[in-house]
Amino acid sequence: MSTWSIASLNPVQRKIVEHKTGPALVIAGAGSGKTRVITHRVAQLIHSGIPASSILLLTFTNKAANEMAQRVGRALKNSTEQQKIIHGTFHSVGSRFLRRNAKLLNYNNNFSILDSSDSRDLIKASLAETVGKPGKYFPKAAVLQNMFSLAFNRFCTQKMILDQPYHERSFHLEQLISVDFPNFEENTETILNILATYRHKKKRGQVMDFDDLLENWLELLLRHGEGLPLCRQIQYILVDEYQDTNQVQANILYRLSRPHKNLMVVGDDAQSIYSWRGADFGNMLEFPERYQAVTYNMEENYRSSPEILDAANRSINYNTRQFEKNLFSSLAEGEKPLVHHVWASQDEAELVLEKILSFRDEDISLNEMSVLYRNHVQSAALQVVLTHAGIPFVVHSGVKFFEQAHIKDVTAFLKVLFNPLDEIAWMRLLRLLPGIGNTTAHRIFRVFQSQQAVRLTKDNVELQKLIPKKALESWNVLLEIFQQMLEESVTPSHMIGLLYKSYYREVLFSSFENAPQRETDIRYLEEFAGNYNKLEAFLNELSLVGSSIITDHEAEQQDNQDTLTLTTIHQAKGLEWKVVFIIGLTEGLFPHQRSLGTEEQIEEERRLFYVAMTRAKRHLLITAPVVSSGYSGGISKRSRFINELAEETINTEIHTRDEYSYGSRGGQTQFYF
């Protein structure tokens, strides 16, 4: 074995790496070198004679698990040992357990694993078998899939698994529908029946979806754990990002570690920001008591300047349910975070552009800058301003605001008003109507094409005979909406409002699992369109922005290109930049209005703000508009998180209101009613 040294670690890191046996909680503050500590810990265990094959390393992505194992191999200069470590995500390690022991749960060892798309297809089949043809606004398969998964991740308990057979478990789905999906409450019984059919089909077909891998792994451990060879083989367990585990994952770890208690979990409760998908950071807070564990605090930060950390510490310590945070840095002093008070999102966008250009003049490349926001809707105005200025940017999550499906649905209606023979827009629009697929949509459009006009009159027999009975009600609603939208005084913003209220809202909520968030996007689109009096100017702007954005994939192909990053804070976790802008600090947007109900929700929003602040290495700029985007359309107020920043830890600039005007001439339409 190679010469092995931990001399480069700081004193706390060394203690963690040299931890002997028994349970341990490592509270790893942002930028404190947690990956390095985990890999050194694994390498130290192997160096001290622990067989690599008895070590289990769990992370939340296979990429992270593989990178950590490779770093262990490099540290030991022994790739053979690295390959023996049992490592992966909870799902991949769970599948390994189940492949070896499937028969104990009445599965064959060659069971299939459904990916997300396969799972949706099976839910569609279950829907057809249970309901036949559902009503017009019954939830689509993707919405049902999200419901089923959320119910499992939030409410699955060990008692449920032991007391109820697989096909009868519904994980309080009715409670979830009542709270999170009230639009579908009248369909609760039908949805429960669909879930039961789906679970029957999976078991009968010898298939498991991703949630089944965890559910069945936990059942395997509960009923047969102590007799499983793999359980006896594993003697040391390390878990990364423990604050993101749900109850099922926490119970799996408890069962796995019972014989030896050698469980070390690493995480940061201040970066627990995924409760909306079932994560329970109570797992971390309760760990010391549940396991009688040793606790280590990694508080030396190697990323951010002392000034940024001071502001971040003061902010997060408003939270009461947490381990207290006192990150410190030995890096050179820098400048205090700068908070800009602006009027609205347009002023904010212009200001951010000005600062980006200024930093670039100081020889800081665009690659070293990022703009973070709570929700994609907050980046829309900035995308337009950056496009006009010729600043290349990548939307880190790969989702471009104006390219999202629901935004394209709404703009399709506007496009056919401006150009009645726009085939792509008509095809998209027509397929939203019940009973109209590609073939019927093509036939309808061919009528418009042959008549060189959109004749929606009753005497247009050629058109009327193509509208299916199922679509008639929606078709007539659309005719009324088109007439209202084409009135002389109606602006693009009013068009969007009319369309959404009278028609598209029901389509949205039955089609998308995150409909409330998408509703916010459409409200913002309506507000953004208020900058344009004429349809032509508005549509030209959308086309310009859509064609200029670089996707993640394109950015990877152009590694040498200097590009600014735009990203949600959730997507930015684990990343860092020299310059970070946090935009949209308006109450109702950040913290989000759906998170104002309880102190627990507000504390998660504050953790999200803390994550954003601690992405910055040298420069942190925060913008706080007073006008809300996408909610009231009127005066709101600046975020409470701005008020919580201690005066002595920040610099503040207050900007006067500026006016922006977009106007252009409109286009002529050829609609006849």
**% residues pLDDT > 90 (the chain):** 48
Asked if residues 327 and 30 have their Cβ atoms less than 8 Å apart, the reply is: yes
Q: Would you say 285 and 15 are in contact if contact means Cβ atoms under 8 Å apart?
A: no
pLDDT at 167: 92
Q: Which residue has the higher pLDDT, 25 or 109?
A: 25
Distances (CA, A) of 44 to 3, 38, 199, 672: 11, 10, 44, 78
DSSP annotation string for 411-470: HHHHHHHH-TT-HHHHHHHHTTSTT--HHHHHHHHHHHHHHTSEE--TT-HHHHTTS-GG
Closest CA to 343 of 95, 654, 33: 654
Question: Per-residue pLDDT tens for 225-274?
Answer: 878 999 999 999 999 999 999 999 999 999 999 989 999 999 999 999 88
Mean pLDDT, residues 584-591 taken together: 89
Answer whether residue 135 shows pLDDT above 80.
no
- Please write the tens of the pLDDT for every residue from 278-307: 888 899 999 999 999 999 999 999 999 999
Interval 365-406: pLDDT, tens? 999 999 999 987 788 889 888 988 889 988 876 556 777 889
pLDDT at 550: 46
Question: Can you say whether the dihedral through the CA atoms of 36, 574, 57, 154 is positive or negative?
Answer: positive
CB 319 within 8 A of CB 606: yes
pLDDT band at 77 (very low <50, low <70, confident <90, very high): low
- Higher per-residue confidence, 585 vs 325: 585
Segment 101-124 shows an average pLDDT of: 89
Closest to 346 (Cα-Cα) out of 374, 381, 389:
381
Query: Which value, in Å, is the radius of gyration of the alpha carbons in the chain?
Result: 28
Query: What are residue 59's phi and psi, to 5 degrees?
Result: -135, -175
Rounded-to-integer distance, Cα 431 and Cα 437, Å: 5
End-to-end CA separation in angstroms for the chain: 84
C-alpha 384/C-alpha 554 separation (Å) is 19
pLDDT, tens only, 412-453: 999 888 888 788 888 889 989 888 888 888 888 888 877 777
| pLDDT reported for residue 535 | 87
The band of 222, judged by pLDDT with boundaries at 50, 70 and 90, is very high
- How far from the centroid of its chain's Cα atoms is residue 460's Cα? 47
Using one digit for the tens of pLDDT, what is the confidence trace for 33-60? 988 899 899 989 988 889 989 999 998 8
pLDDT at 106 over 70: yes
Average pLDDT over residues 66-77: 74
Mean pLDDT of 516-536: 83
Mean pLDDT of 655-669: 46
Q: What is the CATH number of domain 403-545?
A: 1.10.486.10
Token reading at 356? 């980006």
pLDDT at 672: 59
pLDDT for 355: 96
**CATH number attached to the domain at 309-399+549-654:** 3.40.50.300
Distance in angstroms (rounded) separating the CA atoms of residues 483 and 495: 11
Judge if 6-98+231-298 and 309-399+549-654 fold alike in CATH terms.
yes
Domain boundaries, the chain: 6-98+231-298, 112-205, 309-399+549-654, 403-545
Report, as an integer, the average pLDDT of 14-33: 94
* CA gap 284, 322 in Å, rounded: 9
Of 311, 314, 309, which Cα lies nearest the Cα of 327? 309
CA 639 – CA 315 distance, rounded (Å): 13
Confirm if 374 and 592 have CB atoms less than 8 A apart: yes
| Mean pLDDT computed over every residue of the chain | 86
Tens of pLDDT, residues 486-505: 888 889 999 999 999 989 99
pLDDT of 410: 92
pLDDT tens per residue, range 339-364: 999 988 888 999 999 999 999 999 99
Residues 653, 322: Cα–Cα separation, whole Å? 32
| Peptide bond just before 591 cis, omega within 30 deg | yes
Owner of token pair 């040299």: 18
Query: Please, which residues have CB within 8 angstroms of residue 562's CB and are 6 or more apart in sequence?
Result: 365, 366, 367, 392
Tell whether the model's pLDDT for residue 663 goes beyond 60.
no
DSSP class per residue in 359-412: HHHTT--GGGEEEEESSGGGGHHHHHHHHHHT--EEETTS--GGGSHHHHHHHH
Report residue 187's pLDDT band, with 50, 70 and 90 as the boundaries: very high
Return the CATH number of the domain spanning residue range 6-98+231-298: 3.40.50.300
